[in-house]
């Protein structure tokens, strides 16, 4: 019961602002499209509690993020790092844009006049 009360104690304003900023950088692993700040899933609440606990313990934002990545993988990050495993995520929009441009060019290209 005492552990719950300690975890439920509010953070000072500066630390709470830091926690809120981290919540918006972390993706809910259940909802996938929502940040931890927006999600009402139980796992998101657990992540929020863990972030607050780690901030109270004095961990840096990078340490907290690394702990979550080691637990949940890079899918917990709203902006995954550019790495071999996430390369398709970063290249897909560029590839789709190039394909769309090629299709538009082919569609609107004037027919060649036959001589």
Asked if residue 11 has pLDDT above 90, the reply is no
- Give the pLDDT confidence score for residue 108 in this predicted structure: 87
53 falls within a domain: yes
- Give the pLDDT confidence score for residue 3 in this predicted structure: 46
How many structural domains compose the chain? 1
Q: Mind listing the pLDDT tens digit for each residue in 63-106?
A: 999 999 999 988 899 987 777 777 787 788 899 999 999 999 88
Q: Mind listing the pLDDT tens digit for each residue in 50-65?
A: 999 999 999 999 999 9
| Domain of residue 27, CATH code | 1.10.8.640
113 falls within a domain: no
91 falls within a domain: no
pTM, whole model, 2 decimals? 0.67
Cβ proximity of 48 and 40 under 8 Å: no
Range of the domain at 71: 2-80
């Amino acid at each position: 019961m005492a552990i719950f009360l300690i975890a439920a104690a509010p953070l000072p304003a500066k630390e709470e602002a830091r926690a809120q900023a981290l919540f918006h950088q972390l993706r809910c692993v259940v909802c996938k499209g929502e940040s931890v700040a927006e999600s009402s899933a139980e796992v998101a609440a657990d992540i929020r509690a863990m972030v607050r606990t780690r901030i109270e313990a004095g961990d840096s934002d990078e340490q907290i993020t690394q702990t979550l990545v080691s637990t949940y993988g890079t899918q917990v990050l709203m902006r995954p790092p550019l790495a071999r495993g996430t390369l398709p995520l970063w290249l897909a929009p560029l590839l789709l844009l190039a394909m769309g441009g090629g299709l538009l060019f082919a569609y609107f290209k004037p027919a060649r006049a036959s001589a």
